[in-house]
């Protein structure tokens, strides 16, 4: 049932939002050199790798392989700040939802190194289809700001934020439902718009 809802909603959203997506694509292209989309390998359901699609929000010529970004990060373009603030950069992930790599709601898909850290019961999270949003996404909606306030953002992410996300996502694994998913979607929209 959830997969059917995801398919119908993503298909409808892509059609309705296509003029807006085209407009953002043009802005990304003319605002800085590089590709329109940012494609990155992420860990999906059952640990299967897939290519997650987002609007590019960083300069392509940066020489930094850091996967953690903070508010004020010099790698982020001026347009990228706006797209990230309102989560517009996530809209191309509707394509991932349409093709079944992602869901509207679920744990955010990790890069390979972080998913490898899941041990024991925590690996149940990988049985879920990753989502555009989820309960951990709502709690850490201002994650970049939070990380920018830390002396060592990577250490704080790895030892405070990531374990808490794992706890929240495991709770979602045991207690998810279509009704909870719709509540999470509306909560996400409400928090982004404020």
* pLDDT tens, position by position, 71-106: 667 889 999 999 999 999 999 999 999 999 999 999
Q: DSSP for the chain?
A: -HHHHHHHHHHHHHHHHHHHHHHHHHHHHHHSSS-SEEEEEEE-GGG-EEEEEEE--B-TT---------TT-TTB-HHHHHHHHTTGGGTTHHHHHHTTS-EEESPPPPPHHHHTT--GGGGGGGGSPPEEE-HHHHHTTTHHHHHHTSSSHHHHIIIIIHHHHHHHHHHHHHH--HHHHHHHHHHHHHHHH-
pLDDT band at 66 (very low <50, low <70, confident <90, very high): low
Of residues 66 and 149, more confidently modeled? 149
Predicted confidence at residue 73, as pLDDT, reads: 75
Gap between the Cα atoms of 14 and 81, Å rounded: 23
**pLDDT > 70: what percent of the chain?**
93
pLDDT of residue 193 exceeding 70: no
C-alpha atoms less than 13 angstroms from C-alpha of 161 in its C-beta half-sphere: 23
The number of residues in the chain equals: 194
pLDDT (tens digit, 9 = 90+) per residue, 112-156?
Answer: 888 888 999 999 999 999 999 999 999 998 888 899 899 999 999
Gap between the Cα atoms of 128 and 187, Å rounded: 20
Q: Match 């250490």 to its residue by tokens.
A: 155
Predicted confidence at residue 167, as pLDDT, reads: 97
pTM: 0.90
pLDDT of residue 64 exceeding 70: no
pLDDT of residue 62 exceeding 60: no
Predicted confidence at residue 61, as pLDDT, reads: 67
Gap between the Cα atoms of 156 and 163, Å rounded: 10
**pLDDT > 90: what percent of the chain?**
80
Q: What angle do CA 178, 143, 33 make, to 5 degrees?
A: 100
Predicted confidence at residue 33, as pLDDT, reads: 92
């Amino acid at each position: 049932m959830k997969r059917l809802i995801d398919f119908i909603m993503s298909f409808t959203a892509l059609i309705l939002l296509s003029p807006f997506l085209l407009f953002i694509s043009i802005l990304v292209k003319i605002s800085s050199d590089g590709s329109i989309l940012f494609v990155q390998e992420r860990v999906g359901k059952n640990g299967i790798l897939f290519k997650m699609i987002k609007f590019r929000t960083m300069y392509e010529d940066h020489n930094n392989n850091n996967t953690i970004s903070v508010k004020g990060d010099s790698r982020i373009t001026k347009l990228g700040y706006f797209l990230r603030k309102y989560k517009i950069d996530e809209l191309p992930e509707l394509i991932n939802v349409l093709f079944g790599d992602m869901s509207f709601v679920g744990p955010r898909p990790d890069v390979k190194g972080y998913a490898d850290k899941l041990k024991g019961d925590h690996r149940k999270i990988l049985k879920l289809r990753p989502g555009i949003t989820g309960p951990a996404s709502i709690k850490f909606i201002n994650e970049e700001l939070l990380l920018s306030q830390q002396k060592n953002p990577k250490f704080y992410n790895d030892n405070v934020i990531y374990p808490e996300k794992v706890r929240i996502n495991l709770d979602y694994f045991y207690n998810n439902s279509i009704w909870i998913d719709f509540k999470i979607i509306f909560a996400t929209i409400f928090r982004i718009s404020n």
